[in-house]
C-alpha cells in the first residue's frame, strides 16, 4: 500500500525517498526544525525547548531525564492541541455553541491551530527511534501542516 504522502504529493514523496539512509536522522531533525522554527513558543520553554534543542544538536541531550520528561509533556500537549482543534472545528461548523461572550472562531484561526498541531506532530515523530517510513511521515505532517512542498524539499 502506498504511503499517504505518495498519493497527495508524489514529487515530494520521491524526493524524500531519495534521501540516503545514513542521512535520514539529520534530515528528520532538519525537516522538523523547519516546521516550527518561526514559533518561538515551540523552540524554547520547558516542554518544547529541550526537544527542539535535541533536534538542533544532532540528538545531544536526548538521553537525559529532562528530555524524557519534556517528551512526555509534549505528547500530552499535542493531545490537548488535537482536542482543542476538534472543539474549534465543531464551533466553526456550528455543531457546538461558542461560550457566552466569545465570538465563534474564524476559518483562519482553525487553520492556524490545525497547521501548528501537524507541525508539532512532525517534531515528535522526528524524535522517535528511526523506522523505515519516518521521513515520509514527517514530510506528510509538514505538508498537512501548511508547509509547501518546496520548503519541505529545501529542508531535505
CA distance 119 to 98: 26
Q: Is the pLDDT of residue 28 over 80?
A: yes
Tell me which of 106 and 42 has the higher pLDDT. Answer: 106
Q: Indicate whether 129 belongs to any domain.
A: yes
Q: Which is it for the CA torsion 4, 153, 119, 93, positive or negative? A: negative
Q: Indicate whether 53 belongs to any domain.
A: no
Identify whether the C-beta of residue 133 lies closer than 8 Å to the C-beta of residue 1: no
CA distance 24 to 137: 12
Identify whether the C-beta of residue 54 lies closer than 8 Å to the C-beta of residue 60: yes
Q: Indicate whether 126 belongs to any domain.
A: yes
Q: Indicate whether 38 belongs to any domain.
A: no
> What is the tally of structural domains in the chain?
1
Q: Indicate whether 46 belongs to any domain.
A: no
CA distance 134 to 120: 15
Identify whether the C-beta of residue 62 lies closer than 8 Å to the C-beta of residue 54: yes
Q: Where in the sequence is the domain holding 94, given as residue range(s)? A: 66-147
Q: Indicate whether 107 belongs to any domain.
A: yes
Q: Indicate whether 8 belongs to any domain.
A: no
Percentage of the chain beyond pLDDT 70 is 96
Span 49-96, pLDDT tens digits: 888 888 888 777 777 788 888 889 999 999 999 999 999 999 999 999
- Whole-number pLDDT of residue 40: 67
Q: Indicate whether 156 belongs to any domain.
A: no
Q: Is pTM beyond 0.75 here?
A: yes
User: How does DSSP assign 52-73, residue by residue?
Assistant: HHHHHTTTTTTTSHHHHHHHHH
Span 112-127, pLDDT tens digits: 999 989 999 999 999 8
DSSP code for 10: H
Amino acid at each position: 500500500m502506498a504511503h499517504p504522502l505518495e498519493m497527495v504529493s508524489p514529487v515530494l514523496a520521491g524526493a524524500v525517498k531519495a534521501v540516503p539512509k545514513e542521512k535520514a536522522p539529520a534530515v528528520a531533525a532538519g525537516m522538523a526544525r523547519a516546521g516550527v522554527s518561526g514559533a518561538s513558543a515551540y523552540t524554547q520553554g520547558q516542554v518544547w525547548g529541550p526537544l527542539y534543542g535535541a533536534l538542533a544538536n544532532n540528538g545531544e541531550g536526548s538521553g537525559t531525564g529532562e528530555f524524557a520528561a519534556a517528551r512526555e509533556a509534549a505528547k500530552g500537549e499535542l493531545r490537548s492541541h488535537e482536542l482543542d482543534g476538534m472543539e474549534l472545528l465543531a464551533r466553526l461548523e456550528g455543531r457546538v455553541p461558542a461560550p457566552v461572550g466569545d465570538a465563534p472562531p474564524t476559518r483562519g484561526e482553525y487553520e492556524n491551530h490545525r497547521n501548528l498541531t501537524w507541525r508539532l506532530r512532525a517534531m515528535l515523530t522526528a524524535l522517535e527511534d528511526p523506522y523505515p517510513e519516518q521521513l515520509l511521515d514527517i514530510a506528510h505532517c509538514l505538508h498537512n501542516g501548511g508547509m509547501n512542498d518546496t520548503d519541505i524539499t529545501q529542508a531535505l
